[in-house]
Amino acid sequence: MEILKTNLTNRIKSVIRNSEKNIRLYRNIILPALKKTDLNNATYAVNLISLWEDQGEKPVRIKHKGTLEEAIKIAESDFKKVNNRGDVQAVYSVSLILGKRGKVPIFDEYWKMYKESREPGCGCNI
């Protein structure tokens, strides 16, 4: 049992160290970068993972410098081309890229207003 306790203690200490490192990164680099960023000319990452991946469809991952709306439209267009589809059936992951190490997820309720096909009740009037 002492081996288990030692192992768990070491893992917890490692989690604490990594968490402290992430806090410093966000406080000292990512937050100041966000304050200086023009969100109409920022770098966005959009990942679309097909709901039909098990049937051979491919995911699409893009980075785009410009507006969030442009990034989503480009990703959706690429998705339709890559998968020979007329629509987008995918799980979206949308982030703002800040510097080399900063990737901040954008909350669904915001970016959904730019989706091609809006779901009923998606809260798209933000």
38 secondary structure, DSSP code: -
Residue 121's pLDDT is 44
pLDDT in tens, the chain (126 residues): 899 999 999 999 999 999 999 999 999 999 999 999 999 999 999 999 999 999 999 999 999 999 999 999 999 999 999 999 999 999 999 999 998 878 999 999 888 988 876 454 444 433
> Residue 60 is encoded by which pair of tokens?
């699409």
> Residue 37 is encoded by which pair of tokens?
């960023």
Distances (CA, A) of 60 to 28, 33, 50, 87: 32, 27, 8, 14
For residues 115 and 124, give the distance between their C-alpha atoms in angstroms, rounded to a whole number: 9
